[in-house]
Amino acid sequence: MKKARLIYNPMAGKGKLQAQLPQLLHRLNEGGYDASAYATKGPGDATEEASRAVDEGYDLIIGAGGDGTISEVINGIAPKPKRPKFAIIPAGTTNDFARSLGIPKNYLKAVEIIVDGYEIPIDIGKTDDRYFAYLAGGGRITDLSYETSSKLKRVIGRAAYYLQAIKMLPAIRKKQLVRIEYDDNVFEGDVLLFFIANTSSIAGFEKLTPDAMINDGKFDLLIAKKLTIANFIRLVLLAFRGKHLNSKQLIYTKASSIKVETQTDMNINLDGENGGKFPCEFVNLPQHIHMIVPKQYYEKNQQMLNKEQEQVL
């Protein structure tokens, strides 16, 4: 029987995930896995446990929690020469990565997707010795994902991010000078923020990087130039409707390697967590991990890959 290790954040989902754990493990056992669980105890613990599970020969590692927990699990798997399959049970506040793949927040439904077993190879981003699944970025406003209180997120959910964003609006006025080299191109200037994405859903915006593919070997790069607060709010409203890409204040393109240097102190955002300071280089590791996804996403991804291959031919 195949072995599965479910690594979960016991604080995620206001404790609801832990309450349903026996049912989840039972369904995994019915689906052909000798399944066991591990509750994380603090920052970095999910990475250490995922690394141990790989070394112990587990066939499947499941990350259960928010985007931070998922990113930690990825960081335990990605450096290994032989990597098991990976799956998600979303239990965080925004669950951007899971949402972009169509994985439901209902834990039992998410487990059914795992049992169904449709899998695709996914790209992983790397910078220095850190890995990220779906997002890297910079700019003061991107700090809100990890500066927002965990307690507040548990109480009021996604609204906590919006409250924190309002408090951070004055930071838009400060200069953030960057140099971004992407493949054979260069951008230099004052930015509001930039995103390096593998999926279309970022910070609750479903179509922020609409052309993103999780296994095309390229990042989607979105650069927002400096804006006034009024224009920033206008752009946010357009982004909610997926109408933002016509703005002259945006650069949207694809690249497989991106190097970022800054003239001002700036944090790196990796999957919604603080990843240190710039400068750094982001490299795409094509189809680095096999991930279990919903059947609908599997079929959609196959169609998109076929279309890309036809365009190349």
Which pTM does this prediction carry? 0.88
Q: Which listed residue (188, 206, 273, 281) is catalytic?
A: 273
- Tell me: pLDDT of 66 over 80: yes
* Residues of each domain in the chain carrying CATH 2.60.200.40: 135-280
Min mean pLDDT across 53-62, 147-156, 268-277, 299-308 is at 147-156
In angstroms, what is the C-alpha Rg of the chain?
19
Return mean pLDDT, the chain.
Answer: 87
pLDDT tens by residue, 131-150: 999 999 998 766 544 444 44
DSSP 8-state secondary structure symbol assigned to residue 61: E
CATH architecture entry for 2-117: 3-Layer(aba) Sandwich (3.40)
Residue of 64, 130, 131 whose CA lies nearest to 98: 64
- Tell me: pLDDT of 302 over 80: yes
* Local confidence band at 76 (pLDDT 50, 70, 90 cut-offs): very high
| β-bridge partners, 131 | 126
Exposure on the CB side of residue 120, measured as CA atoms within 13 A: 23
| β-bridge partners, 269 | 137, 274
> Residue 146's pLDDT is what?
43
CB neighbours (10 Å) of residue 68? 22
Pairing outcome for strands 33-39 and 60-65: unpaired
| Whole-number percent of the chain with pLDDT over 90 | 62
Give the residue with greater pLDDT, 13 vs 24.
Answer: 24
CATH 3.30.565.10 assigned to domain 135-280? The reply is no
* Separation between Cα atoms, residue 301 and residue 186, nearest integer Å: 30
* Separation between Cα atoms, residue 170 and residue 156, nearest integer Å: 23
The alpha carbon torsion through 49, 51, 54, 56 (nearest 10 deg) reads: -60
Please give the distance of CA 18 from its chain centroid, rounded to a whole number. Answer: 23
> Residue 171's pLDDT is what?
61
> Residue 148's pLDDT is what?
42
Q: Confirm if 118 and 293 have CB atoms less than 8 A apart.
A: yes
> Residue 234's pLDDT is what?
86
Residues 6+ apart with CB under 8 A from 29: 35
Confirm whether 273 is a catalytic residue.
yes
- Tell me: pLDDT of 252 over 50: yes
| Whole-number percent of the chain with pLDDT over 70 | 88
> Residue 173's pLDDT is what?
58
* Residues of each domain in the chain carrying CATH 3.40.50.10330: 2-117
- Tell me: pLDDT of 18 over 70: yes
